[in-house]
A and B are shown apart, each in its own frame.
Chain A
Amino acid sequence: MKRDKSLIAATLKDIAPDLKRIERRLFLRQSLSLGALTMLSGCDLGSGNAVQGALDAMSKWNDGVQAALFSQTRLAKTYAPSDITPNFPFNAFYTEAEAPVINGKTYKLQLSGKITDKKPWSIADLRTLPQESQITRLICVEGWSAIGHWGGVPLHVFLDRIGADKTAKYVGFKCADKYYSSIDMPTALHPQTILALDYADEPLPTPLGYPLRIRIPTKLGFKNPKFITEIFVTNDYPGGYWEDQGYNWFSGS
């Protein structure tokens, strides 16, 4: 295809000032929309605008993608004792000094929801169950990670023992610090998901969640609640402290 170049050139020359203006306007509009984008992002989560709706919908979609990607038999990498991070970091929505101090002698783990035997459990009771230990990496949603040595009862063992309905969708956790979270049943039944009682072969220190936390090496750190006071099984989406504010619910690794 041969076009008459000189004609096009002439026409272009005629409209060159216009083109320049359009060009400048396009640049301007681009920078404007960049500014607008940053403002949009400043909006509160949950303010109900269309952009936020789309982001929430994508987050739900990503829950599904991660559930499909998740394998109940694929294990998180385990490490040697020499890899353990010294001074395992404390992290919560409050300072370390505000961490709840729980009396392990009187403590009882409450059970509710789709569970046959809802009798509360003491720490001593939990220690009579089979124990597992693991040296795994905890990855925080913020980006840092730390390798720690955790010990306790595999959650699937515990769920079997209390007659939990394993066809239910969710296992939820309520904590002494008002934190709460929930996980999908396949992750709850994963062999490395444990109700942790120990850190480095000693009862959990308070900053790490004494007397009971959940340790899930296939999920981000905020899905590993500490100071657990109640476990429940349900089909109604329970959400979570951060999840309700916008962190992705599945948050698998």
Chain B
Amino acid sequence: MSKAGPPKSHPLFVRITHWINALAMILMIGSGWRIYNASPLFDFTFPREITLGGWLGGALQWHFAAMWLLVINGLVYLIYGLVTGHLRASLLPLSPRTVWADTVAALRLKLDHTTGRYNAVQKLLYLGVLALGVLVVLSGLAVWKPVQLWWLAALMGGYEGARLVHFFCMSGIVAFVIVHLALVFLVPATFLPMITGRAPAPKTNEANE
């Protein structure tokens, strides 16, 4: 991987929108699970203790309040990221070849981690979760307004189709979060820079190589 390019650690706008998004996601997922329980799509429900809202009405209130936080914050991130070139600089270029190479390197534990500069696997995962984020919002809007936003609902296979899309996007995001948190626990030095924006002590990086 090239050594030139993106900043040493995370720009302020990334850090702020990241943590607002984390909060919004916790609220959306927690309330979404409670909404799911009112009429489960599949043969399971979520344990009450890990849901948000107490009852269906409360969960819906959380869901439809936090969606504004999620969407406005997401738009700020995307627009700012596009305008400043941050998205392009940190998430592109991406090719199957580099993804493959970095996957192999990671499995051999030969992949180095430089805070604020992403390898191809990370790029793929980050782009993937961003796409899921857009899709979970679009499918959510389709489920919320299948008549007024009929074209959106039609794109998702109608109300019932949109419900499934919405659920699978949530599942994908939760899977991402699990991997994401597991990696932070494995490489704890990545945690503070997401708050301070400063690169961690070089020693930690060496230890990981």
Contacts and interface: CB of A to CB of B under 8 A. Distances in A.
B88 interface: no
B147 A77 contact: yes
B13 interface: no
B68 A58 contact: yes
Contacts of A252: 145, 147-148
B105 interface: no
Contacts of A8: 201
A45 B26 contact: no
B26 A37 contact: yes
B188 A23 contact: yes
B126 interface: no
A55 interface: yes
A115 B168 CA distance: 49
Q: Which of B26, B52, B201 has the most CB of A within 10 A?
A: B201
B65 A54 contact: yes
B6 interface: no
A211 interface: no
A145 B61 contact: no
Contacts of A54: 65
Given A37-B52, A38-B50, A43-B54, A218 B147 contact: yes
A102 interface: no
Nearest to B153: A77
Contacts of A22: 192
B106 interface: no
Contacts of B200: 12
Interface string B174-195: 0000000000000010011001
A97 interface: no
A62 B52 CA distance: 20
B64 A62 contact: yes
Interface of A: 5, 8-9, 12-13, 16, 19, 22-23, 26, 34, 37-38, 41-43, 45, 54-56, 58-59, 62, 66, 69-71, 74-77, 137, 139-145, 217-218, 242, 245-248, 252-253
